[in-house]
Chain A
Amino acid sequence: MRVMAERVPLHLYLVTDRHQTHGRPLLEVVEAGLRGGVDAVQLREKDLPTDELTSLALVLVRLCRRYGARLLINDRIDVALAVGADGVHLPVNSFAIADARYLLGDRLIAASTHHPHEAYAAAQAGADFLVFGPVFDTPTKRTFGAPRGLAQLAEVTIGVEIPVLAIGGVTADTAATVRDCGAAGIAVVAAILRAADPRVAAARLRTQLGVPLTSR
């Protein structure tokens, strides 16, 4: 990996969804994940009003910092700036990356991409890292179309110089294969949020990715 990757040493990116935690408080599940080795969290609660989202983000900023993890806010540059998050995760129809960069300075900008050409464009425009998928079939991602598969993932990881994380149905069984396709890591929702023991689930994923948690 090139020098740029050192800026973002992230392997396990947890995307939140407070409706998928089997009734457990989101913060509890996220903290367990952090203990197990999640190194970045994307706060994505699209149905929350701004005041609640901001309060939640404030708590998460502190929680993530305690574990040395980054917090990115999905789409909401205003919330990210207000709470001092580490950056923003831009979905496909969000701000142009150049405009986001104007607002964010040198904070992190991650971009969701679903096709190789989107990935190349996002990298060119200055994203710090990408999430590409859905690689495998998964209910969360069915609205984005058919799974892209490992071949396209490999195409993307070869074609850009920034870290690419794979998303979409990645499990402990498939994490190693995904890494072999050049992904720097994975983004997950259910694999951790729905796990009986999110900490163990996170730790297993990291081990399968070849970056076992050594201490936390």
Chain B
Amino acid sequence: MTIDMTDPFELAGKRFRSRLIVGTGKYRDFTETTHAVEASGAEIVTVAVRRVNITDPGKENLLDFLKPSRYTILPNTAGCYTADDAVRTARLAREAGVGNWVKLEVIGDQKTLFPDVPATLEAARVLVREGFVVLPYINDDPIAAKKLEEVGCAAVMPLAAPIGSGLGIRNPYNVRIILEQSRVPVIVDAGVGTASDAAVAMELGCDAVLMNTAIAGAKDPVLMAQAMRQAVEAGRNAFRAGRIPRKLYATASSPLDGVLE
């Protein structure tokens, strides 16, 4: 890829043009998945290796549609509730030849799908030691983010809100603190509902946004994917452009000096 690398997204030593990462779950079929992913402009896609077929030659394989030569495939450990489970799932994905990147999810509660942070930390330690590029899903807790960065994760991925909730960033202040302290990329993951949520994440200064349900669950997923692409670009540009400060009172747009009598 050669076009438009003016503001590349650097992650684990690779450079990307797109700051939108998309999941591949919850679509009607692989054809719809492909259309939406293409419309989103995403270069990194996550795959729930426990739920989506990428290994069984007898069944339809997602990777025939989203080719590893074109996309960076990020297997995720969705559906894992213990560190052991997550580690095993990550190893399985690597053995299946999908590369050594992993989006680490260890879920603590079925209703909220909030991460079990101690278990995530434990799994991250093991996986980093085994040479994986680990991208951990965590809550928006700066301490959790710091610890996961310290064990060697390639990024930290604080949630905006519960997976699939569509609430957008509920605690921008925590996200800002995480941004201040992190030396690895900060990727908002989970809870994005619509385009403005993605733009807000990028305006805060996040390096990227990851979403699945917001696109797959929209009435028109391809159109929403396009909107998200634009929102991430708009938010990033607004961040780089340097916004005006927020003020309680007005400041006239033209100076009052020399007003005509």
Query: A residues within 8 Å of B by Cβ?
Result: 2-4, 6-7, 96, 98-99, 101-103, 105-106, 124-126, 161
Contact = CB atoms under 8 A, between A and B. Distances in A.
Given A7-B31, A124-B69, A126-B67, A105 B39 contact: yes
B231 to A, nearest CB: 14
Nearest to A96: B2
B70 A6 contact: no
A69 to B, nearest CB: 20
> Could you say which of A98, A103, A124, A161 has the most chain B C-beta atoms within 10 Å of its C-beta?
A98
B29 interface: yes
Contacts of B36: 106
Given A3-B30, A7-B31, A125 B41 contact: no
18 contacts: A2-B64, A3-B60, A4-B31, A7-B35, A98-B70, A99-B1, A101-B70, A102-B17, A102-B41, A103-B3, A105-B39, A105-B226, A105-B229, A106-B35, A106-B225, A124-B69, A125-B69, A126-B38
B2 A124 contact: no
Contacts of B29: 3
Given A102-B17, A102-B41, A106-B39, A6 B31 contact: yes
Contacts of A7: 31, 34-35
A102 B31 contact: no
Interface string B213-240: 0000000001001100100000000000
Contacts of A3: 29-31, 60
Nearest to A99: B3
Contacts of A124: 67, 69-70
B173 interface: no
Interface of B: 1-4, 17, 29-31, 34-36, 38-39, 41, 60, 64-65, 67, 69-70, 222, 225-226, 229
A161 B67 CA distance: 12
Given A4-B31, A98-B70, A106-B34, 14 more contacts: A2-B64, A3-B29, A4-B34, A4-B65, A96-B2, A99-B1, A101-B38, A102-B1, A102-B4, A102-B41, A103-B3, A105-B39, A106-B222, A126-B67
A10 B257 CA distance: 68
A6 B64 CA distance: 15
Contacts of B38: 101, 105-106, 126
Given A4-B31, A6-B31, A102 B65 contact: no
B70 A125 contact: yes
Contacts of A99: 1-3
A31 B249 CA distance: 63
A124 B35 CA distance: 16
A44 to B, nearest CB: 23
Contacts of A6: 31
Contacts of A103: 3
A7 B229 CA distance: 22
A102 B69 contact: no
A139 to B, nearest CB: 36
A10 to B, nearest CB: 15
A105 B41 contact: yes
Nearest to A6: B31
A132 B65 CA distance: 21
B59 to A, nearest CB: 12
Nearest to B69: A124
Contacts of A106: 34-36, 38-39, 222, 225
